[in-house]
Amino acid sequence: MYADVILPLPFSDLYTYSVPVEMRDKITRGSRVIVPFGNRKYYTAIVYKIQETAPKGFKVKEIHSLSDSEPIVNEQQLKLWEWISYYYLSPLGDVYKTALPSSLKSEDLKSKFKPKTETFIRINPGKDAANITGIIGRAVKQKFLYNQIQDILTDNKKEHISRKEVSELAGYSVSVLNGLIKKEVLQTIEVETGRLNTGIKPIRKPHPLNDFQQKAFNEIIDCFENRQTCLLHGVTSSGKTEIYIHLIEEALSLGKQTLYLVPEIALTTQLTQRLQAVYGSKIGIYHSKINDNERAEIWNKMLSDEPYEIILGVRSSLFLPYQQLGLVIIDEEHEMSYKQQEPSPRYHARDTAIMLAHFYNAKTILGSATPSLESYFNTRNGKYGIVTLQERYRNILMPEIKIENTFELRKRKKMKSLLTPALIEQMKLILENGEQVILFRNRRGFASLIECEQCAWSPKCKRCDVTLTYHKKRNRLICHYCNASYPMPVICPSCNSENLKTLGQGTEQLEEEVERLFPDYIVGRMDLDTTRGKDAYEKIIDDFQSKRIHILIGTQMLSKGLDFENVGIVGIISSDSLLNYPDFRSHERGFQLMMQAAGRAGRKNRQGKVIIQSADPDQPVYGYISKYDYEGFFNSQMAERRMFNYPPFCRLISIILKHKTEQKVDAGSDYLAALLRQSFSDSVQGPSKPIVSFIQRYHLREILLKLDYNLSIKKTREIIKSAETRFHTNKDFKYIMIHFDVDKV
Ligand code: ADP
Ligand code: ZN
Ligand code: ZN
């Protein structure tokens, strides 16, 4: 008996091993095994296929051991891996590496799993309550903390409280707590706690839907009668989430699981609260800030007799072992962050989720206020159903959008700050009224660029061909491509001038400016730099929700589906940078971002305002934005895409070649392009230099394939794979790395 297994290696798809006699009745497809590979190395592998015939031409090694009594990967998962590998041109080993939590891939599972304990504080049961006051004596701070702890325990009918909770109390300091422990008034105890949230009780039923929502819900159910996938095109704040909850109810009543996908971790925070209120511990949360042990526990729970009924997560949650998947919700389906960029497999989580649903015979609901052109196109050609929802919940008006011409204002010397006078004026009124403000700036850091006033020198990353960004708080120059950091130069290294000036404005500079303009209000900032810690998102969102922050500044991560109820105005600072990016999707992205950002305003009680600051307000996209004209925007973009042959009118595959020597990658990419032209002729573009063509000491070239949709995926794959093999057998090009990005965004 032999087993073909998937190894976590990027070279080939399958490797064959012989199965020892004692394993034969236990091993099956999906089993996890440990196998020797190369000299003295062992890997955890997944069995792909069991067969009777010995491979010819080489001697096989034997499987070392079988890790579990049952397979840990099911049939649908393996099918999905296979599809991803096939469609996205990536080795199965890469898919396997992405799919499994690391601790399930290591050889020694047992030692990786440590039971988790937490320190709790309790009142010493050996002390008589009446005596305690005496023991504490005149230590006022200790008494204050003690009383707080006692109140919480009585109120919650609990024996102990976690040390973490104590540390958040007003009267807490380490020495005060230690004082009480030393006097033996309080005691610490270690309690074993699972990593997973259990015992969270639902606190309410789903909200009843209003008439518009009910109608949309009924239409979706009807649509599912004869279609697998349906797009819910509903304006921001129309209650799409409430409709999803009712769809989850349907799935639950049929005993089916739901996967609720969001594009970004920031979104899981608010949704977790909303969904836990209705579903308690039925819901599991899965994303990259969940630690690896916890992910392994979630995986195991999904395999158990009591799997989560709902999973809320980012794209990696596609890979969990669902047993009875019935519904997939893809929230904010237009978000381009659904596409994995690095490493391989470069899969699109939306499209992959639709395949996943297909393997389980489940239904998929795509939701957005600004659908991707691809999805909307798919409703036009009948592939997906469509349901529209145009009323905001409680008939709140859509915010009024005004475009401010900063070019004119600058010319007339009216721009004394990064903010236009009108925006400052409105912010004042709104803040005085007790409402809140959101400001977007699509770039983090203090200034995008440092430039010498004398000779125009600006600092670049030594490993990438990219100008560095200045981060003021860290006082460092950072490369946003490889994260390398450099000291800020005092003088220009090229001409020794001391006049280094900053150009362009990042979120950090905006924050400083707003703090100067509005000294009486609390300003918060949300971008990659302020959200590194595990709970960082939660804290900022929570502070804003509970009005501890009045003005929130952020990058696009703030625009995505967050629901705040007290935002009077949204300002979008230098919106043109969103549109001027040299990419055929830049207008689509800019439109979506600005519409979504606008949607954060005026959610309850009154109409909100949006001010977009543009130096080039005549671009047609602003016309569609200020009129909320999605259809008009869609039609104009489709005309362009058709004319220039871009998706959804062709399939786009980007091929990137990488090497440390520039001549080599030039020669190689010419050769590969020529090979591809033999079959694809005019559909091959390039090679060309990508916008950033030198990254981490590698030179990059790109070949772009714009393929006819009628060309089968099978045929496409064969041609590309055979060109790749021929390329790598040429000894000149053997060491040039190639990677594929299918449906590049
Ligand atoms: P969307 O997802 O379309 O942006 P949400 O589902 O977040 O909209 O709804 C916006 C706000 O209105 C939320 O605070 C939500 O709780 C509230 N809401 C929407 N529909 C209902 C309903 N049927 N009953 C109670 N509250 C609702
Ligand atoms: Zn760099
Ligand atoms: Zn200089």
Instruction: Please choose from 205, 232, 235, 242 the residue to mutate so as to test ligand 1's pocket, defined by most ligand atoms within 8 A of CB.
Output: 242
Please determine, for residue 111, whether its predicted confidence score (pLDDT) is greater than 50: no
Pocket of ligand 1 (CB under 6 A): 207, 209-210, 213, 234, 236-242, 393, 563
User: Same CATH fold, 211-393 and 2-104?
Assistant: no
In angstroms, the CA 416 to CA 689 distance is 39
Distance 701 CA to ligand 2 centre (A): 17
Distance 487 CA to ligand 3 centre (A): 17
What is the crossing angle of helices 75-87 and 713-729, to 10°?
60
| Residue range 554-582: mean pLDDT, rounded | 79
* 411 — pLDDT class (breaks 50, 70, 90): confident
Assign a CATH topology to domain 651-742. Alpha-Beta Plaits (3.30.70)
pLDDT tens digit sequence for 261-273: 999 877 787 788 8
Percent share of the chain, pLDDT over 70 = 95
Tell me: domain 396-446+505-640, CATH 3.30.70.100, correct?
Answer: no
Q: Reduced to 3 states, what is the DSSP secondary structure of residue 429?
A: helix
Assign a CATH topology to domain 2-104. GIY-YIG endonuclease (3.40.1440)
| Residue range 169-190: mean pLDDT, rounded | 89
CA 440 from centroid of its chain's CA atoms: 19
Kindly give, in sequence order, each residue whose CB lies less than 8 Å from that of residue 706, ignoring residues fewer than 6 positions away.
645, 646, 650, 651, 652, 683, 685
- Tokens (6 digits) for 624: 């569609």
Distance 101 CA to ligand 2 centre (A): 29
Contact 275, 261 (CB under 8 A): no
Where do the structural domains in the chain lie, given as residue ranges?
2-104, 117-192, 211-393, 396-446+505-640, 651-742
Atom of ligand 1 nearest to the CA of 599: 4
CATH code of domain 211-393: 3.40.50.300
| Residue range 588-602: mean pLDDT, rounded | 87
Lowest mean pLDDT among 498-507, 534-543, 706-715: 498-507
Distance 458 CA to ligand 3 centre (A): 8
Nearest CA to ligand 1 atom 6: 239
In angstroms, the CA 372 to CA 261 distance is 16
* 110 — pLDDT class (breaks 50, 70, 90): very low
In angstroms, the CA 633 to CA 620 distance is 9
- Tokens (6 digits) for 632: 């008009």
Distance 245 CA to ligand 1 centre (A): 11
Tell me whether residue 697 is exposed, middle or buried, using C-beta atoms within 10 angstroms of its C-beta: 0 to 12, 13 to 18, 19 or more: exposed
In angstroms, the CA 135 to CA 137 distance is 5
| Amino acid 444: pLDDT | 59
Q: What is the DSSP letter of 139?
A: -
* Residue with the two structure tokens 């399930």: 104
Kindly give, in sequence order, each residue whose CB lies less than 8 Å from that of residue 177, ignoring residues fewer than 6 positions away.
121, 145, 166, 167, 186
What is the crossing angle of helices 240-253 and 265-279, to 10°?
50
Q: Reduced to 3 states, what is the DSSP secondary structure of residue 666?
A: helix
CA 376 from centroid of its chain's CA atoms: 22
Paired sense of beta strands 41-51 and 2-6, if any: antiparallel
Assign a CATH topology to domain 117-192. Arc Repressor Mutant, subunit A (1.10.10)
